[in-house]
Chains A and B, each alone.
Chain A
């Protein structure tokens, strides 16, 4: 057994009934593997890691890992995570969400979590579709794409998660794809070890619900597409505007060191309690 596989097995719940719910070729498992490697490399105790997940394919990831896991309501993962982090700041709190979860039904919670800089990591698995419910369009489905609810093509524009989080004041915003597992490892390790709110978006292909309907022959072609279109953020910024259309930037977009809300809150309390007669 290779070293990497061994680490992953140490962190999976062996009492949980397998097989898992993910389709063959799904990128979600790669993200979960990266999450485990990042937690392992930081030497965090399993007891102090909390994984809060929303609803959907990404929501099901929580049950497989041997941490404190919460499978929350649709779109509300960040609110649960906020409560947990404020109640016990010693915990490392990771919220796993899908694109429909984080951007559509939970969009409000996402921008507010970013604004208040609560010390949790939002890990958004963006597959451009509602996978588990059967392939309906989400708020990141690109214009023109076909889905069960846009059979003649998507008319609406899609959200850019990175831009939105940046605008909302997130202090760490990064993006990777499930093709780029090493980069993902680095980004997640950084996100889990820093203070304040971190957002990491991962492009992860869904062939079953998205690729099939949108001229991708198979799942491999979707990974190849991610590889072809991705570009490091610095290189992307140097690109001429007309060439940017076929590419998307990847890497760290925002990184500012600011104390998280829970740190500010507890130090305020200490001050106020000290002032009491």
Chain B
């Protein structure tokens, strides 16, 4: 017998960040996973192998490499599935070819990259944040992309749902960057009830097939997408295509096609740019952080506040498109921005670009496979 009080209580889980990603994906309606094992992301794959065969129409397949994994995910996405894969640095490098394809054909899908130390095989079991710029610019050619991050296990779940929603809403691949620390932290999370999340599905065409323009213009800049087998016999190609989806080399067709792809993300900046702010309202010093480092930064900021220093935290949950308005506003307001990250300054480069001389930007970089501690950040805050 459950009391009304009991009912209200949410289901709790003691889960790894990687397991939370799986929970989030299943809440979002993911029904296809193709992957290749790689530390430190393997738990996502193992968990999917267990869960997907148990849900109606769930498909799990282990492919021969990461190139094939993303290929299969794109195929499933074209066939109408919400599909994802997970990997780490070396695998993410292999995926860049097909990632560009997914951008070009506007296939909604989610790639989780649990970052480990690099370059190359690097540090398989140690954390880093070295893939930030690769996530943005890794594949060749000009392309828009959405890159998200998560700093806690609860956020892993929530951001995975968000990643699927953005992918479906904007018909684009979305990359969720985790680091080894977040992925392998085990903590208590609340499993949200399904009604708490808005789950978005891709828009499918409603016009008769003979009227349908697969890459046509519309207000949102996001063309409807029919699944393969639904009667809309569309041509999908990685070649630059016209609005009918056929290859083109005409300048008057190439440019609008590329520009629309950018515009569909650009004009929805305000929907996509997610940040969490803590004590930033009157802050003199603002720490700009993401991933597990944001957690260290949070503790450092709280400690600094105890010491009477007006510190604040800007946690970037969206990394790209870069949350320019939030950073620019704080740059105008505070005396110093501190950017701690586990790389040689991949995000501080963006912060400096937006800051453009408005205020001081201090960086804390760590590439020794160790996390950035609250003490380290606090030291930097007090030095300022």
Contact = CB atoms under 8 A, between A and B. Distances in A.
A71 B77 CA distance: 15
Residue with the highest number of chain A CB atoms closer than 10 Å, among B67, B75, B78, B239: B75
A69 B67 contact: no
Interface string A57-72: 0000011001111111
Contact of B76 (A67, A84, A276): A84
Contact of B237 (A15, A63, A268, A269): A63
B81 interface: yes
A48 B229 contact: yes
A87 B59 contact: yes
Contact of B228 (A17, A50, A269): A50
Given A63-B237, A76-B98, A83-B83, A47 B75 contact: no
A115 to B, nearest CB: 9
Nearest to A55: B238
A123 B91 CA distance: 29
Contact of A79 (B54, B63, B233): B63
A82 interface: yes
B71 A88 contact: no
A15 B79 contact: no
A178 to B, nearest CB: 24
Nearest to B64: A112
B188 to A, nearest CB: 26
Contacts of B81: 87
Nearest to A261: B61
Contacts, number: 142
Q: Categorize the interface residue count of chain A.
A: 35 or more
Interface in B56-85: 56, 58-59, 61, 63-65, 67-81, 83
B234 interface: yes
Nearest to A273: B54
A48 B80 CA distance: 14
B239 A81 contact: no
Given A17-B246, A47-B230, A112-B68, A86 B59 contact: yes
Contacts of B54: 269, 272-273, 276
A66 to B, nearest CB: 6
Given A47-B231, A272-B53, A272-B54, A72 B59 contact: no
B229 A72 contact: no
Interface in B20-36: 32, 34
Interface string B141-170: 000000000000000000000000000000
A69 B83 CA distance: 20
A68 B246 CA distance: 13
Contacts of A46: 233
A273 B72 contact: no
Given A73-B98, A82-B75, A86-B59, A109 B235 contact: no
B236 interface: yes
A265 B75 CA distance: 17
A73 B98 CA distance: 7
Contacts of A50: 228-229
Interface in B272-324: none
A72 B71 contact: yes
Contact of A71 (B228, B231, B238): B238
Interface string B91-102: 000000110010
Nearest to A67: B233
B244 interface: yes
A233 interface: no
A268 B54 CA distance: 10
Classify chain B's interface size. Answer: 35 or more
B138 interface: no
B247 interface: yes
Given A76-B67, A79-B63, A69 B76 contact: no
Q: Indicate the member of B61, B63, B233, B235 with the most A CB atoms within 10 Å.
A: B235
Contacts of A273: 53-54, 56
Given A63-B246, A86-B32, A86-B76, A269 B64 contact: no
A15 B80 CA distance: 25
A30 interface: no
A90 B229 CA distance: 9
Given A76-B68, A108-B65, A265-B59, A84 B78 contact: yes
Interface in B232-280: 233-239, 244, 246-247
Contacts of A236: none
B230 A83 contact: no
Contacts of A73: 71, 97-98, 101, 238
Contacts of A87: 32, 59, 75-76, 79-81, 83
A253 interface: no
Contacts of A269: 53-54, 58
B74 A83 contact: yes
Interface in A84-122: 84-88, 90-91, 108-109, 112
A159 interface: no
19 contacts: A16-B235, A17-B246, A62-B235, A67-B233, A69-B236, A70-B228, A76-B67, A76-B98, A79-B75, A80-B74, A82-B63, A82-B75, A83-B32, A83-B61, A83-B75, A84-B228, A86-B76, A91-B229, A112-B63
Given A50-B228, A84-B75, A109-B68, 9 more contacts: A63-B235, A69-B233, A71-B237, A76-B97, A82-B72, A86-B34, A88-B79, A88-B80, A272-B54
Interface of B: 32, 34, 53-54, 56, 58-59, 61, 63-65, 67-81, 83, 97-98, 101, 227-231, 233-239, 244, 246-247
Interface of A: 13, 15-17, 46-48, 50, 52, 62-63, 66-73, 76, 79-88, 90-91, 108-109, 112, 265, 268-269, 272-273, 276
